[in-house]
Structure 1
Amino acid sequence: MSPVLPAFDPGDPSWRRPPVTAKELRTDAILAAVLFVGALLSLMLYQVAGVYEDPAPMWVSLIWAVLITLPLAWRRRWPNIAAVVVSAAFIGGGELRVPELLICNITLFMALYAVGAWVDNRRTALLVRCGIIAAMLAWLVLAMFRQTTDPDALEGFSRVGMFSPLVAFLMIQILTNLLYFGGAYYFGDRSYASARQQALLEYRTEELERERERTAGQAVALERVRIARELHDVVAHHVSVMGVQAGAARTVLDSDPRAARDALANVELGARTAIDELQKLLHTLRENDQADAASLSASTLGLGAIATLAADSTASGLPTTLEVVGTPTEVTGLVSLSIYRIAQEALTNARKYAGSAATADVRLRYLDGAVEIEVSNTGTVPSKPRAGGLGHIGMRERIDALGGTLELGPRPRGGYLVRARVPLGRPVDSAADADSHGASDAGASDAGASSERPPSDASTPRSTR
């Protein structure tokens, strides 16, 4: 099971440590009990060693042992209270001459450490620790003053000279206490910072995992869209041609059987071609799970096949001319396939919607740093976009992937125009990106039909990216 993560980024200043767990509370309780037993043993040993000539009564020492150790059982749940109680017991034990000098130093260090490690309000943690340290240092100074002013105290240290053995001893006491309290303060802060860093690492790891899952899902969705686009282009084109030829065969079946046979032969040829392309597409998908858009074409279709496409369009009843402008330039397989599919979709739409008397012109232009395909047709334009069409969506997706521009819409002099330009070897500038993305958003409402029509007041083809 994954760890419980904070509800917000641990880098936020309002981050709080996770609540103390039951296991941690049990550990603290066991630790406090062990220290209590250790304090009792230490009391007896120091009592026998005679550390004080007139030590505190045993019942006082027992109460002191409870106050100096057992509050550590709540050092993570209520660290401030535990530290204050332990500190007060420490000073009280010194004033009452409780014969114990080992366990009390350990418990005071742990109590100060817990404040730095577990108090989420860092200002409170600072004030509590500074208050305890100031009280301890003040008590130390008072004790040193009493020792230096008592002729009978510290008899083993000479008081002669500016830097006497007594002064050296007192300075050792001061340095020891500074290191003691400074260590408790520092390590407490480091523990809190370490816990925060660990929480931040877990948070970032979980974020990366969610992002990885999101990216994987998006990759699957994009792959499905790409496959669907290829299937649409293959099926829509060939089925459209087959429909036109079948309709022509039905019309002339009685009056011109030979023409009907030719039309049915074209239907058969179109069906075989469609099946062949679909089989190649499926074979490519089975062979390579990482197939790119060019390989998903399942064929060698590209710029070289546009002439055949124009000829097939003419044979299907839409007289189509092809003009190549400029010197042919080598392009990638993806660019070549995309341009072919755009021309194919444009001619398919023209056959379906322009009318029986329509004609089409295809112009393939090799420009400086770009290649452009333009398909225009005469005839009628649907007054309303067809709901559910995917043709224009597919064209836009292909052009977006290549960083090109797409223009489509009714022509002022009649008919319809599709023009796609793809840059070769250099990115489109940012201004063009911004303009084209805006135009794409504006045209989203009519992107659902394969023969969408721009708003009725449009006099020129729209540009989108």
Structure 2
Amino acid sequence: MTSASPRLLAAPASEWHRPAPDARGRRADIVLAVVMTAAMIGSVFLYQRTGIFGNSDAWVVSVVWAVASGAPLAVRRRWPEAVAICSAVTFWWGGEFRVGEYLFSNIALFIAIYTLGAWGRRRTLATVLRLAIVAAMFVWLFWNLIVTAGISSVVPELSREGTLSPYVAFGLIQIIINLLYFGGAYYFGDAAYRSARARHELETLTLALAEERERTQQQAIALERVRIARELHDVVAHHVSVMGVQAGAARLVLDRDPAAARSSLLNVESSARTAVDELRLLLGALRDDRAAPADGAATTHGVDQLGELVDDAVSAGLPTRLHIVGSRRPVPATIGLCVYRVAQEALTNTRKHGGAGATAELRLRYTDDSLELEASDTGLGAGRSATASGSGMGHLGMRERVASVGGSIEIGPRSRGGYLVRARFPLAAEVTR
């Protein structure tokens, strides 16, 4: 009964307060007040007809008392403090002046004390007020037991003789009944308040989780769009640079070597078709917010396509070699795509900034627990230092890609000239038999 009180008293000032009842709850309280008032009036009439409480002509006072006891319950959840005080005073009035109703008046007082515990919005006041009412009721009870102990006409059938006389036993029974009565009202009121607060916290948490889930979904869509934007950059930069080089070569040899010009134009056409196919896959995902991540793009390219990438670079006029060190082993699709895109971006940068006469080399090295890619060139073209810091879109994309699979990357000029991109990707340790 008292275990919750310290927590309530120690609660911070910003503690949740139970909101007032809605219109439906107020109507229910009015119905309860009407029923309880009518029941008390009927009970008073029946008690007075028995003649137990003496004069039956005081029925008008009894009806007023019944209304004063039951009517406040109509606003019990809106003003629980005032209702509890009113119920306690009218209960004392009825007992002190022997109105003669001890059934529904006890129920009304129980409801008032319970409501104060369950709906009191100022918890310290609710606790202090309930304890004060209970203490006053017990003082009243003890006073009546002491006073009537010397009046033999009150319950004359109970003897006052002996340490544990029948009258003393009667008094102890009254004390136990009142302890259970007030203790139950106090405990169940606090329990109802805690239950309402826990329900509110659960509803708040559910709403917060729903909002967080929605934010997570939106973030996932945004991240996927960023990934697709990087794919678009890689696709456009690579294929457009190839087409530009091939178109320039075709223009230079168009008059004196139509066959070579035709070959260059065929390469331009092939690069354009490939670029269009990849762009169609990527832009298709952007048109639908509900689309799943474009896994198709992730499985299109990998380490097995590095040879084709080198052939495209050679066809575009950049002498490039591919070296594979170590035994080939399965590579996850995400890492394979990352390796391909890093190599593609490195070769694209060489074509853009390496200058005339530059050559490139790709070195793919398999180790026991990692896969390493080195893309180096001998270019000395202007503008390389501007991108060495990795502030450009291409370098930023490479860094983000490698970091997304738990790898590391180094980008910068070599001391002996040229440029170097070295990326390391973790792989599961190879099992030897």
TM-score bucket of the superposed structures, by smaller chain: 0.7 to 0.9
Task: Give the match for residue 92 of structure 2.
Answer: 91
* 1:185 CA drift (Å): 0.2
Change (3 A) 1:374 1:217: same
1:115 and 2:95 matched: no
1:217-256 equivalences in 2 (<5 Å): 217-256=218-257
Q: Which stretch has the larger CA shift, 111-120 or 413-422?
A: 413-422
Q: Which stretch has the larger CA shift, 379-388 or 320-329?
A: 379-388
1:61-100 equivalences in 2 (<5 Å): 61-100=62-101
Cα distance in 2 for residues equivalent to 1:323 and 1:294: 28
Cα distance in 2 for residues equivalent to 1:325 and 1:56: 115
Cα distance in 1 for residues equivalent to 2:409 and 2:138: 79
* 1:315 CA drift (Å): 2.1
Cα distance in 2 for residues equivalent to 1:381 and 1:295: 37
2:253–2:260 Cα contact (<8 Å) kept: yes
User: Could you tell me which of 416, 424, 429 is aligned with 1:421?
Assistant: 424
1:320 and 2:320 matched: yes
Cα distance in 1 for residues equivalent to 2:57 and 2:118: 34
**1:180-199 CA distances to partner (integer Å, 9 max, x unpaired)?**
00000011001100110110
2:53–2:98 Cα contact (<8 Å) kept: yes
Unaligned runs of at least 5 residues, structure 2: 1-10
Change (3 A) 1:20 1:292: closer
Task: Give the match for residue 407 of structure 2.
Answer: 404
1:372-383 equivalences in 2 (<5 Å): 372-377=372-377, 378-382=379-383
1:395 and 2:398 matched: yes
Task: Give the match for residue 355 of structure 1.
Answer: 355
Amino acid at match of 1:350: T
RMSD between superposed Cα atoms in Å = 2.8
**1:70-116 CA distances to partner (integer Å, 9 max, x unpaired)?**
12122111111110111011111111111211121011001100110
Cα distance in 2 for residues equivalent to 1:55 and 1:149: 27
1:277–1:298 Cα contact (<8 Å) kept: no
Tell me the TM-score normalised to structure 1 length: 0.82
Task: Give the match for residue 25 of structure 1.
Answer: 26
* 1:282 CA drift (Å): 7.8
Cα distance in 1 for residues equivalent to 2:341 and 2:263: 26
* 1:345 CA drift (Å): 1.4
1:32-71 equivalences in 2 (<5 Å): 32-54=33-55, 57-71=58-72
Tell me the TM-score normalised to structure 2 length: 0.87
1:372–1:422 Cα contact (<8 Å) kept: yes
Task: Give the match for residue 185 of structure 1.
Answer: 186
Task: Give the match for residue 4 of structure 2.
Answer: none
2:285–2:294 Cα contact (<8 Å) kept: no
Cα distance in 2 for residues equivalent to 1:11 and 1:96: 44
Q: Secondary structure at the match of 1:340?
A: helix
Cα distance in 2 for residues equivalent to 1:56 and 1:391: 102
Change (3 A) 1:414 1:121: farther
Identity %: 50
Amino acid at match of 1:326: G
* 1:290 CA drift (Å): 7.4
* 1:275 CA drift (Å): 4.0
Unaligned runs of at least 5 residues, structure 1: 1-9, 427-465
Task: Give the match for residue 345 of structure 2.
Answer: 345
Q: Secondary structure at the match of 1:199?
A: helix
* 1:201 CA drift (Å): 1.0
Change (3 A) 1:11 1:346: farther
Q: Which stretch has the larger CA shift, 164-173 or 183-192?
A: 164-173
Change (3 A) 1:415 1:200: same
Cα distance in 2 for residues equivalent to 1:409 and 1:206: 49
Amino acid at match of 1:123: T
Amino acid at match of 1:423: P
Q: Secondary structure at the match of 1:156?
A: coil
* 1:278 CA drift (Å): 4.9
* 1:38 CA drift (Å): 1.5
1:294–1:337 Cα contact (<8 Å) kept: no
2:116–2:126 Cα contact (<8 Å) kept: yes
2:363–2:375 Cα contact (<8 Å) kept: yes
Task: Give the match for residue 456 of structure 1.
Answer: none
1:321–1:362 Cα contact (<8 Å) kept: yes
Cα distance in 2 for residues equivalent to 1:133 and 1:332: 73
**1:126-178 CA distances to partner (integer Å, 9 max, x unpaired)?**
10000000000000001111221111111122334333322222211111110
1:335–1:402 Cα contact (<8 Å) kept: yes
Amino acid at match of 1:358: A
Q: Secondary structure at the match of 1:375?
A: strand
Task: Give the match for residue 304 of structure 1.
Answer: 304
* 1:64 CA drift (Å): 1.7
Cα distance in 1 for residues equivalent to 2:119 and 2:343: 68
